[in-house]
Amino acid sequence: MIYRPIGKTGMSASVIGLGGEHLDNKPFETADAVINTALDNGVNIMDVFMPGDEVRTNIGRALAGRRDKMLIQGHLGSTNIKQQYDQSRDLPSIKTYFESLLRCLKTDYIDFGMLFFIDSEKDFSDMFDGPALGYAQELKKEGKIRAIGASSHNPVIARRVVETGMVDLLLFSINPAFDMAPSGANVLDYLAEDNFNFEKNLDPRRAALYKLCEQKSVAITVMKTLGAGKLLDPRYSPFGRPLSAVQCIHYALTRPGVVSALLGCSTREQVLEALGYLNAADEEKDYSGIVSKYQGSFKGSCVYCSHCLPCPAEINIAEVNKYLDAALLDPEHIPQTVTERYRALKHRGSECIACGSCEKKCPFSVPVVERMKKAAALFGL
Ligand code: SF4
Ligand code: SF4
């Protein structure tokens, strides 16, 4: 397993994590098989947004004796009042459901208290100007949560969340199709309607959000990694052909700021299939052929696909570009974390011998040589 540091929290997440939704309305045996197969293989992070007592209790039973091995994303504001999944911004409900999470999981802390479903201006003001944020801060002070996070599907609102400086973790929906949807679109509608009927072009506002997260050390965990499975299905894929799960996972994991791709699994086999990503060859992971057709005005920007490798100087070009992009957001004040990550690379921009082989291979017309020079100048090596 590969682990990535979660921003400034001191915690690290496995790059493959678990989504919890497919454990809902399933027997205990399902949760037990999925969670313990994941744990046995080094998975250490899972999302539990589901508000029902039964699924939460099943998860708690499955984690018995291993609770400390799994980082839990628990949500503040996910409720099932009237037996239906819902969002609440009302403090007594938020408290009731958080306390039920502790009780059902048989734990006295949750790793990430996630401010739930912040997709609109109203969601933002309800959560950040209302009592929910104060409650999350109180929980953190009491040690009942270790860090504050938030979940969103909207890049404009998520950006506002990140800019508050209040969250260490963002759960965000990322896949190649969503990254080409207009940023004002409700991406969940695309899943509900069984189609992705929109003008496809990489949306710079989503890309800008990921760069901002990298710059501010706000870690991203990814939901909808496979677009609810639709990107794998030739009937629904908006790209004229299906993507593989490995390509989708790799796409998510190569966005700046991303620490873990969460996969919803309901069988042991599905967990093992997701973990297959770790042994996949570079050619299996390569998504550039699909995404490059829809680059639109994004041409010339790195999408971190690594299609340009190998590099004779062994530079990880995508990683250099990732840190350079984060640094360029404010070149006068490059965060130390970004500089440290760049400096920790085995080979850096200054080692580029300008052979030009990467530029010939890059489907996105990225001026790599120029960017390597720029990185070397900005980071000093
Ligand atoms: S330079 Fe081009 S090929 Fe290389 S990672 Fe960036 S987008 Fe992909
Ligand atoms: S131009 Fe520089 S970065 Fe690109 S392949 Fe050659 S040495 Fe590597």
The encoded tokens of residue 241 equal 């052909």
DSSP 203-248: -HHHHHHHHHHHHHT-EEEEESTTTTTGGGSTTT-TTSSPPPHHHH
Q: Give, using CA atoms, the residue closest to atom 7 of ligand 2.
A: 352
To the nearest whole number, what is the mean pLDDT of the chain? 92
Indicate the residue type of 18.
Answer: L
pLDDT category, 13, cuts 50, 70, 90?
very high
Higher-pLDDT residue of 59, 227: 59
Is it the case that residue 84 has pLDDT exceeding 70?
no
- d(CA 122, ligand 1 centre) in Å: 38
Is it the case that residue 370 has pLDDT exceeding 90?
yes
* pLDDT score recorded for residue 183: 72
Q: What's the rounded mean pLDDT across residues 187-196?
A: 74
Q: Give, using CA atoms, the residue closest to atom 6 of ligand 1.
A: 302
Q: Is the CB of 366 under 6 A from ligand 1?
A: yes
* pLDDT score recorded for residue 202: 80
Q: Which of 9-23, 179-193, 247-261, 309-323 is the least confident region?
A: 179-193
pTM of the model: 0.92
How do strand 16-19 and strand 71-76 relate by DSSP bridges?
A: unpaired
Question: What percent of the chain is predicted at pLDDT more than 70?
Answer: 98
Phi and psi (nearest 5°) for 247?
Answer: -65, -45
The reply to whether omega before 312 is within 30° of 0 (cis) is no
Q: How many CB atoms lie within 10 A of CB 117?
A: 22
CB 359 within 8 A of CB 368: yes
Per-residue pLDDT tens for 198-220? 777 788 899 999 999 999 999 99
Q: Give, using CA atoms, the residue closest to atom 2 of ligand 1.
A: 362
- d(CA 362, ligand 2 centre) in Å: 11
Torsion from C-alpha of 104, 105, 111, 112, nearest 10 degrees? -40
Q: Give, using CA atoms, the residue closest to atom 3 of ligand 2.
A: 352
The encoded tokens of residue 215 equal 């710059």
- d(CA 173, ligand 2 centre) in Å: 33
Domain ranges of the chain: 3-294, 299-379
* pLDDT score recorded for residue 82: 63
- The closest ligand to the CA of 358 turns out to be 2
CB 56 within 8 A of CB 50: yes
- d(CA 282, ligand 1 centre) in Å: 14
Q: What's the rounded mean pLDDT across residues 334-350?
A: 96
Q: Give, using CA atoms, the residue closest to atom 2 of ligand 2.
A: 352
* pLDDT score recorded for residue 132: 94
Q: Which of 66-75, 221-230, 343-352 is the least confident region?
A: 221-230
Per-residue pLDDT tens for 33-76? 999 999 999 999 999 998 889 999 999 999 999 999 999 999 99
Q: Which atom of ligand 2 is nearest to the CA of 354?
A: 1
* pLDDT score recorded for residue 194: 64
CB 47 within 8 A of CB 15: no
CB 262 within 8 A of CB 46: yes
Phi and psi (nearest 5°) for 228?
Answer: 55, 30
* pLDDT score recorded for residue 245: 95
pLDDT category, 180, cuts 50, 70, 90?
confident
- The closest ligand to the CA of 375 turns out to be 2
Q: CATH: 3.20.20.100, 1.10.3720.10, 3.20.20.120, 3.40.50.970. Which one for 3-294?
A: 3.20.20.100
DSSP 113-139: EEEP---SHHHHHHHHTSHHHHHHHHH
CB 152 within 8 A of CB 119: yes
- d(CA 309, ligand 2 centre) in Å: 9
CB 78 within 8 A of CB 116: yes
Is it the case that residue 376 has pLDDT exceeding 70?
yes
Q: Give the contacts of 241 (CB within 8 A, at least 6 positions apart).
A: 234, 290
* pLDDT score recorded for residue 88: 84
Q: Which of 93-102, 146-155, 182-191 is the least confident region?
A: 182-191
* pLDDT score recorded for residue 318: 96
Give, rounded to a whole angstrom, the gap between the first and last alpha carbons of the chain. Answer: 30
CB 162 within 8 A of CB 170: yes
Q: Which atom of ligand 1 is nearest to the CA of 305?
A: 8
Q: Which atom of ligand 2 is nearest to the CA of 349?
A: 3
Torsion from C-alpha of 183, 320, 339, 145, nearest 10 degrees? 50
